[in-house]
Amino acid sequence: MALFDIKNLSFAYPAGKRILRDVTLTVEQGDFLVLCGPTGSGKTTLLKLLKPELFPLGEKSGEVLFEGADINALPPEASCRIGFVQQSPEHQIVTDKVWHEIAFGMENMCFDKMLMKRRMAEIMSYFSIDSQFDTNTSDLSGGQKQMISLASVLVMDPKVIILDEPTSQLDPVSASGFLQTLKKLNDELGLTIIITEHRLENVIPLGSKLCVIEDGSVTALGETKQAIKEILSNEKIRRSMPGSVQIFHTLGANGECPLNVPQGRAYLKNNMPQSIRELPEEEQQGGSETEIKIKNLCLRYSKNSPDVLNQLNLTVYKNEILCVLGANGSGKTTLLNAVANLVTPYAGKIEIKGKNIKKYRGQELYNNLLAMLPQDVETVFLRNTLQEEFEKAGVDPTDLPYDLSYAYSTHPYDLSGGEQQLAALAVVLASKPEILLLDEPTKGLDNGAKATLCKALRALKEKGKTIVIVTHDVEFAARCADRAAMMFRGEITCIETPRRFFTDNIFYTTSVAKITAGLIEGAVTPEDFEYCAGGGK
Amino acid sequence: MTGFGSINPAAVFAYFLCVTVSGIFTLNPIISVISLAGALLLWAVLPVAKNKRTHIYPVLLTLFCAVGNPLFSHNGETVLLVINNNPITLQSTLYGLFIGIMLSAAVYWFSSFSLIVSSDKIIYTLGFISQKAALVLTMALRFVPLYIRKARQINGTQKALGLYKDETIITRFRGGVRVFSVLMTNMIEKTIITSDSMAARGYSGGKRSGYPLFKFTFKDAVFLAVTVFLTLLTAVPQAKGALDFNFYPHIDITFYGVSSVAAYTGYALLCLCPSVYEGSDRLKWHYLISRI
Amino acid sequence: MRVIQNEKLRTVLSYLIPFVLIPAVVIGGIAVFRSRGYSYLIFAVSALTILLFVCGFDRRKTGTRRLVLVAAFVALASAGRAAFSFIPGVNPVTAVTILAAVYLGGEAGFMIGAFSALVSNIFAGQGVWTPFQMFAWGMIGLFAGIFAKYFEGRKLRLCVYAFFCGIFYSLIMDVWTTLWTYDAFNLPFYLASITSAVPYTAVYAVSNAAFVWLMAKPFSEKLGRIKLKYGI
């Protein structure tokens, strides 16, 4: 008996938009199913239709069987058996202490006291989070929060865990740690996992099955390597696949599809294209005029805390896109806040257009000169529709390198992550800044949205803007940047053109660069690789 | 953890309720002084970091009451001096002084209370009355730091958008309200995620239980029994008037023999309970640790 | 944790408590503390009212989303109280309580007001005043909820109510201080405390009205939106 048997499931929201069409899917006990597809394809809706407590309002047809029984008829106790973890680390935490968060589900189900203590001990030891027992949940990092959410679901002993983009708000290191934990649960306990993700690089190699959803319909389904072969012709989906899959496609897609870096390297060695083996370093793209000059900047948040920025030196040229990369806590966001004059360094100086930042009086800095887009772009929005928002901010839509007019009547919070990013960008552009500072703009975006954002930023650069981006996203930086900088312990450790940067980096680089290292010099993006394989076309 | 802080929070709550209520609602200066002494002793022996500034408020309060009361109340037969045709009496001054002492004692009891009763303990005790209210409390405590952090982010965003013009109190207020408004929008939207997360883990708005974070052991039962016994020992004679005390027109204390003795000793022992417990536990600990 | 496992016994107790236990505690207490009967009375009444509301809240089934909103508004008011501490006498607790009560009803209003006092005092300092503050803010919320139909969409009325709540709050707190100090109503002392608190009260009342004026519209829009979108 299959765990989930989904037969001809269709669903439409009350507004009338049909979001799922005739979905038929079987999930067996012990499967690790990866669901993927572009934003708005109905992935989240499908997941919610597998969890009775979260059924969305709307019109449903077809049926869902859980262990052979109709899911609508499950008794309330059954909510233990289907676990659900959402995307947002911040908002799915309910209580103020770690122990209470983990106990929350057991309290709801009125578990026996001894059983509660036993399960608590087990789960805390399994995740080795016993030292966090008394910790305030608000003191945890995003990755730790997601881990607690997972533990709090797992403690109820579910048969299956459904995860809706659980790592999209996490940095790459925490994200891969989280996914490895899922894999461990799947391997050691035989726990069934159903997961959707945007960032497929890490999750695809872990999954046993892949299901691709587009426009509410299943377009590919099966064992991972087989399913991937089915969608290779679909460029939109293929572009979101791991680098090894793209290389596999470029090389003709013969044989078994490689899913990770070692498999990709092996495949590439056996199928080396007889063409370009080396890409030249790009020419310096930005101008040579200095826009921002930072000298020996030191900053700490309180007297006795360590330096967050430590003797930092950086020059940003006019009309360039600079990406600053680095791990959590390396001081990236602080650097951005210092340039935006939101925090004050205790030593060193920042010059913008040759003038010390302290000499800018009142609003001078923010009028027609500098604008910052925060990590959480929702904090930009004040109004009820995008139109109101644009009117209030004085956005000139004709001035934008992209079009959002189709979404004017939408509430800003109802936009997708990518649209929100573009809308917030439009709002900050209304003050006609010459310098744009962006903090993690690709967080939670799917591949398509990242490409759109990249295009928009390139277009803004063409219009003469200087753009500084702080990001974890190496793939995005490789595509978008004119120069890439690495930040570590509050200082800039190197700064180069992206091709040089990602070729010379060994660990902190794109997956294509890892696969091609030593084989094809300078190929860091799938496009670079296609260019080489295609003999320079 | 050892000492008073290790006693079951429900018993600790009952203790503080008994000791403050029977101390606050009597005018008897002897009781007030005993209460203040007990409170100060406990405050001093608690093995946690304390803020020296805690002392400022009770001292000021006592002074204020002692000086202020005779200005408003002119009862009492012993006139000390006359200001603007109003007599300042000895009885009225003493009344103010002892009111001040009584309130200071309450301040110290509450200060000790805050030092040992963490939010976990409040939630646990509230759970005896209502698990749902306890849930609201823990959720609110989870949201407060989240909202404070969010408010800071919003403030930064709005500042970098050039929305702050100058730094007057009115613009700061308006700026504050704007941040507050954005925060509210964000929060209302995100509560949906939180409620989904709760529903997904079986919360249905109905009956729920609590994780047994604290044990109720024999020593807790003894502590609770002693507390109740000593409170009754004070309250029963008190109801019969054994603690009656008059300030006006002249200071007048009635002594009722055994029942008064019972009431005073009962209350004194009640006040000493936690300090004695703390002290004996520490002795025991020293003895145990010497064997390691 | 349920102390009493028997469902029937609990139901009996739930009626016994308000109708028998509360008067008993009040009358018995006055007998014990006769020298300070009034102080005791106001303390007992406010503490027991809160208890009663909490028990009532526990008995009724509250939808998950409403419950989260109650907790969120408590947190919002408490965070706001901390955030606005840079202007003395200004805090958004009354405004948030009123606005939330109009949309969520009297009982939720009481809970939001009372718990905002409790939670913000965890940061600002608990004291003898906590039950009384809980009572005062709870009542402000309760009445806003009861008369919700006169307030909904009427910004001016809400502002007037918020303004008077500011004054009411100060007046009541001073009645309490007076009774507390004298165990009788001492008019000169009461007038003196009111007069000394005039600037504070004025700022408080005006800022309450200003908060409500500035927040009423966004508040109703936002709550209306999720009511529509998610059906609360």
Looking at the structure of chain B, the number of domains it has is 1
Query: Can you tell me whether residue B241 is helix, strand or coil?
Result: coil
C-beta atoms of B201 and A100 within 8 A: no
Q: What's the whole-model pTM score?
A: 0.90
The answer for A 350-369 residues in CB contact with B (under 8 A) is: 362-363, 366-367
Residue A57 sits at the chain C interface (C-beta within 8 Å): yes
Instruction: Report the relative pairing of strands A69-70 and A491-496 from DSSP bridges.
Output: unpaired
**Residue pointed to by tokens 């426009």:** A215
Is position A278 within any domain? Answer: no
Q: What CA–CA distance (Å, rounded) separates B165 from A11?
A: 50
Nearest CA in chain A to C220: A384
Tell me which of A90-104, A465-479, C184-198 is least confident.
C184-198
Highest-confidence range of A163-172, A186-195, B162-171, C162-171, by mean pLDDT?
A186-195
Residue C1 C-alpha, separation from nearest chain A C-alpha, in angstroms: 9
Mean pLDDT score, A101-124: 93
B128 vs C contacts (CB less than 8 Å): 1, 3
C-beta atoms of A108 and B208 within 8 A: yes
Q: What CA–CA distance (Å, rounded) separates C102 from C147?
A: 8
Nearest CA in chain C to A410: C225
Is position B156 within any domain? Answer: yes
C-beta atoms of B106 and C128 within 8 A: yes
A299 and A418, same domain (yes or no) = yes
Beta bridge partners of A163: A85, A195
Is position B10 within any domain? Answer: no
Mean pLDDT score, A278-298: 81
Which of A478, A496, A514 is the last residue before a domain boundary? A496
CA A471 to chain CA mean position, Å: 11
Q: For C53-111, write each residue's pLDDT tens digit.
A: 888 888 877 788 889 999 999 999 999 888 887 777 788 999 999 999 998 889 999 99
A220 and A347, same domain (yes or no) = no
C-beta atoms of B203 and A104 within 8 A: yes
Residue C111 C-alpha, separation from nearest chain A C-alpha, in angstroms: 18
Residue A285 confidence (pLDDT): 64
The radius of gyration of chain C from alpha carbons, rounded to an integer in Å, stands at 19
Residue B74 confidence (pLDDT): 80
A399 and A484, same domain (yes or no) = yes
Cβ distance C134 to C98 under 8 Å? no
Nearest Cα to Cα of residue A15 among A388, A384, A408, A414? A414
Residue C6 confidence (pLDDT): 61
Nearest Cα to Cα of residue B211 among B139, B119, B140, B123? B123
Highest-confidence range of A43-52, A376-385, C22-31, C43-52, by mean pLDDT?
A43-52
C-beta atoms of A384 and C225 within 8 A: yes
C-beta atoms of B212 and A156 within 8 A: no
Model confidence band, residue C1 (pLDDT cutoffs 50, 70, 90): very low
Mean pLDDT value across chain A: 90
Residue C83 confidence (pLDDT): 81
The helix, strand and coil proportions of chain B, stated in percent and rounded to the nearest 5, come to 75, 5, 25
Nearest CA in chain C to A107: C1
DSSP state of A304: T
pLDDT > 70? residue C43: yes
A358 and A446, same domain (yes or no) = yes
Instruction: Report the relative pairing of strands A491-496 and B79-83 from DSSP bridges.
Output: unpaired
Query: Can you tell me whether residue B251 is helix, strand or coil?
Result: coil
Mean pLDDT score, A188-205: 91
Output the CA angle B202-B206-B209, nearest 5 degrees. Answer: 75
C-beta atoms of B114 and C61 within 8 A: no
Nearest Cα to Cα of residue B132 among C107, C142, A156? C107
Tens digit of pLDDT at every position of chain B (292 positions): 568 888 999 999 999 999 988 887 887 889 999 999 999 999 998 888 888 888 888 899 889 888 888 887 787 888 888 888 888 888 888 888 998 898 899 889 988 988 888 889 999 998 888 888 999 999 999 999 999 999 989 988 888 877 766 667 787 778 888 888 889 889 988 999 999 999 999 898 777 888 989 988 999 999 999 999 999 999 888 888 888 787 777 787 777 888 889 999 999 999 999 999 998 888 888 888 888 7
Residue C168 C-alpha, separation from nearest chain B C-alpha, in angstroms: 23
Maximum alpha-carbon separation in chain C: 58
Looking at the structure of chain A, the number of domains it has is 2
What strands lie across the sheet with A347-352, from one edge to the other?
A309-317, A290-299, A347-352, A355-356
Which of A245, A264, A279 is the last residue before a domain boundary? A245
Is position A393 within any domain? Answer: yes
pLDDT > 80? residue C180: no
* A366: nearest CB among B153, B161, B204: B161
A436 vs B contacts (CB less than 8 Å): none
- Which backbone phi and psi does A293 adopt, to 5 degrees? -125, 120
SS (H, E, C) chain B: CCCHHHCCHHHHHHHHHHHHHHHHCCCCHHHHHHHHHHHHHHHHHCCCCCCHHHHHHHHHHHHHHHHHHHHHCCCCCCEEEEECCEEEEHHHHHHHHHHHHHHHHHHHHHHHHHHHCCHHHHHHHHHHHCHHHHHHHHHHHHHHHHHHHHHHHHHHHHHHCCCCCCCCHHHHHHHHHHHHHHHHHHHHHHHHHHHHHHHHCCCCCCCCCCCCCCCCCHHHHHHHHHHHHHHHHHHHHHHCCCCCEECCCCCEECCCCHHHHHHHHHHHHHHHHHHHHHHHHHHHHHHHHHCC
Residue B162 C-alpha, separation from nearest chain A C-alpha, in angstroms: 5
Mean pLDDT value across chain C: 83
Residue C204 C-alpha, separation from nearest chain A C-alpha, in angstroms: 26
Does the domain made of C63-230 have the CATH classification 1.10.1760.20?
yes
Query: What's the length of chain C?
Result: 232
- Residue C22 identity: I
For A473, the token pair is 């996203």
Model confidence band, residue A209 (pLDDT cutoffs 50, 70, 90): very high
pLDDT > 80? residue C11: no
C-beta atoms of B181 and C215 within 8 A: yes
A339 and A438, same domain (yes or no) = yes
A227 and A350, same domain (yes or no) = no
Q: What does the buried/exposed string (b/e) look like for A324-363 if buried means 16 or more CB atoms within 10 Å of the residue's CB?
A: bbbeeebbbbbbbbbbbbbbebeebebbbbeeebeebeee
Give partners of C (≥3 CB pairs < 8 A). A, B
Nearest CA in chain B to A136: B142
For B101, the token pair is 């002492």
Model confidence band, residue A382 (pLDDT cutoffs 50, 70, 90): confident
A411 and A299, same domain (yes or no) = yes
Q: A135: domain CATH number? A: 3.40.50.300
The radius of gyration of chain B from alpha carbons, rounded to an integer in Å, stands at 26
Residues whose CB is less than 8 angstroms from the CB of residue A143 and which lie 6 or more positions away in sequence, other chains included: A89, A170, A171, A173, A174, A175, A177, A178
Domain of residue B176: give its range.
Answer: 124-200
Q: What CA–CA distance (Å, rounded) separates B30 from B266?
A: 13
Residue A154 sits at the chain B interface (C-beta within 8 Å): no
Residue A223 confidence (pLDDT): 92
Q: What CA–CA distance (Å, rounded) separates B291 from A465?
A: 73
A231 and A303, same domain (yes or no) = no
C57 vs B contacts (CB less than 8 Å): 130, 132-133
* Best of A100, A138, A384, A415 to mutate (most C CBs within 10 Å, chain C): A384
C86 vs B contacts (CB less than 8 Å): 172
pLDDT > 90 fraction of chain A, expressed in percent and rounded: 53
Residue B5 confidence (pLDDT): 87
C230 vs B contacts (CB less than 8 Å): 192
A399 and A305, same domain (yes or no) = yes
Q: How many CA atoms lie within 13 A of A197 on its CB side?
A: 26
Nearest CA in chain C to B72: C189
Residue A107 sits at the chain B interface (C-beta within 8 Å): yes
C-beta atoms of A54 and B196 within 8 A: yes
Domain of residue A91: give its range.
Answer: 4-245
Residue C7 confidence (pLDDT): 64
Predicted ipTM? 0.89
pLDDT > 70 fraction of chain A, expressed in percent and rounded: 98
Is position A528 within any domain? Answer: no
- Residue A401 identity: P
Mean pLDDT score, A497-511: 89
CB pairs under 8 A between B and C: 196
* Best of C62, C84, C86, C181 to mutate (most B CBs within 10 Å, chain B): C181
C189 vs B contacts (CB less than 8 Å): 72-73
pLDDT > 90? residue C194: no
Q: What CA–CA distance (Å, rounded) separates A76 from A71?
A: 11
Nearest CA in chain C to B145: C79
Q: For A385-425, write each residue's pLDDT tens digit.
A: 899 989 888 888 888 888 888 888 888 988 888 899 999 99
DSSP state of A439: E
* B148: nearest CB among C62, C64, C82: C82
Which of A461, A479, A496 is the last residue before a domain boundary? A496
**Residue pointed to by tokens 């310096």:** A284
Nearest CA in chain A to B183: A379
pLDDT > 90? residue A147: yes
Q: What is the secondary structure of A193-252 as a DSSP string?
A: EEEE-S-HHHHTTT-SEEEEEETTEEEEEEEHHHHHHHHTT-HHHHTTS-HHHHHHHHTT
